[in-house]
C-alpha cells in the first residue's frame, strides 16, 4: 500500500496552533509582575518545575490549608468586554477567602491559564490582576501553568483555575465547633456579585438585550458594577481572629447565604437572618427586576451584598464590628444562631 506524499514543507508546533515563542514571551512579561507579589519564605523564582516555600517561623503545631477554585462564566463577560485584570483578582479572592475562614494565613498561590491561542497581552493582564490579588491577600505568587490547546477553546476564550496554600496554628483553627445558640452573625459587605451567578446574569443580559458596556448604571456603566473584583477579606479577618473570639466564618459564594452558612454550623441549629439588616446593593435589585428573578432564588444564587459572615459570641459583637470597620470593611449584625426545634442538619432562615 502506497503512502501519501509528505507535505511540501515541514510542519511545526506553531502550524498546529501552539506558539512556544509566545509562551516564553509571557513568562518574561510576568516575571517582574510576580516579583511584586512575594513573601520572604519563598525560595524559588518563576520558571522552575516546582516552587519552594518555607513555613513561617513561630508556628508550634502548623496545619497546612489548601483551596482551589475558578472564576466561572464571569470570564465570558470579561472577555467579551475586554476587561481581563479584574478576573485575576477574582481568582485569588475565591481561593484566599475560602482559606482564611479556617483562620489560615495564605502563603502562596498558583494559577492555571488555558486558552486555544495564547494572546500575550491578555494573559499578562490576567496575571497582573492575580499579582494584585496576591498582594491584597498577603500571599506570594510562586508560579503557575499556561496551556495553549487549539481546538478545545473558541477564539478569544480562556479559562482560569487557582490554587492557594496557607497555614494556621492547630489551636487557632476556626472550624465552627465552638458555635453556640445565642451567637451573633455579622455580615461583611461584598463589592457586588463577586464571581458567582454569572450564568444567570448573562442570561438576563441576553434576554433583555442589554449591552453592559453601554448601559448607564449609577455613576458609571453596568459593566463596572458586574465586573467589580471580588473583595478580599484576608487581612481584615486575620486581624479579627487575633483580637477577638470568633466561632466560625463563612465565605458567601454561589448558593448565597442559604447554601454556604450551614457549611460551618453544627447540627441542631438555625441561622436566623434579618434581610432588613442587609444593605443590598442596587446591582442585585437591577438583576432581580430585569430578570424577573424570584426573591428566594436571588438569596440562593447571589451573595446579595454579604460576602463574608462571621459568627461571634454576643459579648464580642461591638469589638468585632470595630475591628472590621477599622480594617476598612463595612459590617453589621444580620442575625443570630438559634436552636432548631426538630434538630437535624443546620439551616438558614431568612426573615424578609
* Ranges 22-26, 176-180, 221-225: which has the least confidence: 22-26
Would you identify the CATH topology of the domain 184-351? Phosphoribosyl-aminoimidazole Synthetase; Chain A, domain 2 (3.90.650)
- Which residues make up the CATH 3.90.650.10 domain(s) of the chain? 184-351
Q: How many residues does the chain have?
A: 352
Here the cell at position 324 is 472590621
d(CA 252, CA 350): 15
Total-model pTM: 0.91
CATH superfamily membership of 20-172: PurM-like, N-terminal domain (3.30.1330.10)
Decide: 114 and 157 in contact? Cβ < 8 Å: no
Q: What values do phi and psi take at 41, rounded to 5?
A: -75, -15
Q: What's the pLDDT tens digit per position in 17-71?
A: 767 667 677 666 666 666 676 788 888 766 677 878 889 999 999 999 999 999 9
Scanning the chain, the segments in alpha helix (DSSP H) are 20-35, 74-81, 85-100, 120-137, 198-208, 222-226, 234-243, 256-260, 282-291, 295-299, 317-326
Here the cell at position 329 is 470593611
What does the DSSP 8-state code read for residue 169?
E
- Which residues make up the CATH 3.30.1330.10 domain(s) of the chain? 20-172
Q: Which residue, 250, 67, 63, 96, is CA-closest to 168? A: 63
- With 0-12 CB in 10 A as exposed, 13-18 as middle and 19+ as buried, what is 41? middle
Give the pLDDT mean for 189-210.
97
What local confidence, expressed as pLDDT, does residue 273 receive? 98
User: 161 - beta bridge partners?
Assistant: 70, 112
What is the percent of the chain where pLDDT is above 90? 80
Q: Which residue, 254, 103, 96, 70, is CA-closest to 174? A: 103
Q: Which residue, 223, 249, 224, is CA-closest to 237? A: 249
Tell me which H or E stretch contains 105: strand 105-115
Q: How many C-beta atoms lie closer than 10 Å to residue 14's C-beta?
A: 11
Q: Which residue in the block uniquely carries the three cell numbers 442589554?
A: 210
Q: What's the pLDDT tens digit per position in 244-292?
A: 999 999 999 999 999 999 999 999 999 999 999 999 999 999 999 999 9
Look at strands 140-148 and 105-115 and give their pairing: parallel
**CA–CA–CA angle 95, 99, 101 (5° rounding):** 125
* Max intra-chain CA distance, the chain: 87
Residue 5 has pLDDT above 90, yes or no: no
Decide: 65 and 167 in contact? Cβ < 8 Å: yes
Amino acid at each position: 500500500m502506497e503512502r501519501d506524499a509528505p507535505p511540501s514543507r515541514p510542519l511545526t508546533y506553531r502550524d498546529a496552533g501552539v506558539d512556544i515563542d509566545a509562551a516564553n514571551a509571557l513568562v518574561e512579561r510576568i516575571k517582574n509582575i510576580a516579583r511584586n507579589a512575594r513573601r520572604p519564605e519563598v525560595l524559588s523564582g518563576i520558571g522552575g518545575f516546582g516552587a519552594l516555600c518555607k513555613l513561617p517561623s513561630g508556628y508550634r503545631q502548623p496545619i497546612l490549608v489548601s483551596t482551589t477554585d475558578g472564576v466561572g462564566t464571569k470570564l465570558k463577560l470579561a472577555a467579551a468586554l475586554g476587561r481581563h485584570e479584574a478576573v485575576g483578582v477574582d481568582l485569588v479572592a475565591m481561593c484566599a477567602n475560602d482559606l482564611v475562614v479556617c483562620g489560615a494565613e495564605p502563603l502562596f498561590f498558583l494559577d492555571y491559564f488555558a486558552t486555544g491561542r495564547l494572546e500575550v497581552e491578555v494573559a499578562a493582564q490576567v496575571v497582573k490582576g492575580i499579582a494584585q490579588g496576591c498582594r491584597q491577600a498577603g500571599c506570594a505568587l510562586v508560579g503557575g501553568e499556561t496551556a495553549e490547546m487549539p481546538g478545545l477553546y473558541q477564539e478569544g476564550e480562556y479559562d482560569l483555575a487557582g490554587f492557594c496554600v496557607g497555614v494556621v496554628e492547630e489551636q487557632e483553627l476556626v472550624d465552627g465547633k465552638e458555635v453556640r445558640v445565642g451567637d451573633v452573625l455579622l455580615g461583611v459587605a461584598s463589592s457586588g456579585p463577586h464571581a458567582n451567578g454569572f450564568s444567570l446574569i448573562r442570561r438576563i443580559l441576553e434576554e433583555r438585550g442589554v449591552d453592559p458596556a453601554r448601559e448607564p448604571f449609577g455613576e458609571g456603566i453596568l459593566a463596572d458594577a458586574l465586573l467589580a473584583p471580588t473583595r478580599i477579606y484576608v487581612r481584615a479577618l486575620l486581624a479579627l481572629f487575633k483580637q477577638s473570639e470568633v466561632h466560625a466564618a463563612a465565605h458567601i459564594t454561589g448558593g448565597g447565604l442559604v447554601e454556604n452558612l450551614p457549611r460551618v454550623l453544627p447540627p441542631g441549629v438555625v441561622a436566623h437572618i434579618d434581610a432588613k439588616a442587609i444593605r443590598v446593593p442596587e446591582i442585585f435589585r437591577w438583576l432581580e427586576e430585569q430578570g424577573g428573578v424570584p426573591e428566594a432564588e436571588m438569596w440562593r444564587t447571589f451573595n446579595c451584598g454579604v460576602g463574608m459572615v462571621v459568627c461571634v459570641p454576643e459579648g464580642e459583637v461591638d469589638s468585632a464590628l470595630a475591628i472590621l470597620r477599622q480594617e476598612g470593611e463595612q459590617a453589621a449584625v444580620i442575625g443570630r444562631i438559634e436552636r432548631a426545634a426538630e434538630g437535624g442538619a443546620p439551616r438558614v432562615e431568612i426573615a424578609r
